Amino acid sequence: MKKPLIVALDYANEQEVKKFFTPFDGQVLFVKVGMELFYQTGPQLITELKEAGHHIFLDLKLHDIPNTVKGAMKGLAKLGVDIVNVHAAGGKDMMEAALEGLDIGTPPGTDRPLCVAVTQLTSTTQWMMEEELLINRNLGDVVLSYAQLTKHAGLDGVVCSALEVPKIKSICGSNFQTITPGIRLAGDAKQDQKRVVTPADASKLGSDAIVVGRSITQVKEPVKAYENIQLEWGMLNEKSNRIKTVRN
């Protein structure tokens, strides 16, 4: 799938997910299943989404000691999802352990899921970093440094703000994948996101994939919203590279 628009299924249960898919009438989507949904439904929902042909980013943002993350990734690899992730703040050893776990758990004859790291959440501000996390560094520098660490650990890319993509690509290389949430159409409410970017700007900035949640899932006409965002993002991307998802 080229430069996907990934829809964040931030729902609490399977009924809500089914309701969301109904107006899409069998259309295959690239979806993100996060902790809210996965903790309620478990792997069964992943199996069902895969059977329906959807591509899946399993966004559980693992962050624990290396051995635990390795074991968790070993299990997640068996689910056959396209993308999984960790927090870069867990450190290089933890990220390497994540990859090891994925390699062990990926069924023979299939490719392992892409593994990306969250640099800083798009809801994080400079103030929060300094006052709450006691990191007295520029937010942009922290993101870049975490991206470099992620690259050194051998991961495939990062989840970051689209605003950070040009710098990350210049330091980590153009093949280093950038998946960017915090996307809003001009005029949409920002909600809790602090650093938002339109789909067109994300495209211009070089994002490999955008993640959109509430602007599609919490509006009256989700299909129309999906198409509008796809148009702004997709049309501008026709000549761009494809994200290296395992099951294209």
Catalytic residue, chosen from 3, 18, 19, 61, is: 61
Element (H, E) at 101: helix 92-105
Size of the site for ligand C5P (CB under 6 A): 16
Name, in order, each residue with C-beta under 8 angstroms of 21's C-beta and a sequence gap of 6 or more. 29, 52
Question: Counting Cβ atoms within 10 Å, is residue 126 exposed (0-12), middle (13-18) or buried (19+)?
Answer: middle
Q: How far apart are CA 206 and CA 78, in angstroms?
A: 31
Q: How far is the CB of 107 from ligand C5P (least distance, A)?
A: 27
Binding status of residue 155 toward ligand C5P by CB under 6 A: no
Which of 10, 64, 201, 227 lies at the binding interface for ligand C5P (CB under 6 A)?
A: 10
Span from 16-24, 140-148, 149-157, 209-217 in contact with ligand C5P (CB under 6 A):
209-217
Round to the nearest angstrom and report the end-to-end CA distance of the chain. Answer: 5
Q: How far apart are CA 238 and CA 2, in angstroms?
A: 9
Q: How many residues does the chain have?
A: 248
Which of 17, 37, 99, 121 lies at the binding interface for ligand C5P (CB under 6 A)?
A: 121
Binding status of residue 147 toward ligand C5P by CB under 6 A: no
Binding status of residue 142 toward ligand C5P by CB under 6 A: no
Span from 89-97, 102-110, 137-145, 208-216 in contact with ligand C5P (CB under 6 A):
208-216
Q: How far apart are CA 80 and CA 110, in angstroms?
A: 8
Binding mask 158-177 for ligand C5P (x = CB under 6 A): -x------------------
Binding status of residue 212 toward ligand C5P by CB under 6 A: yes
Binding status of residue 33 toward ligand C5P by CB under 6 A: no
133 neighbors 148 (Cβ within 8 angstroms): no
Q: How far apart are CA 241 and CA 141, in angstroms?
A: 26
Catalytic residue set: 61
List interacting residues with ligand C5P (CB under 6 A): 8, 10, 34, 118, 121-122, 159, 181-182, 191, 193, 211-215
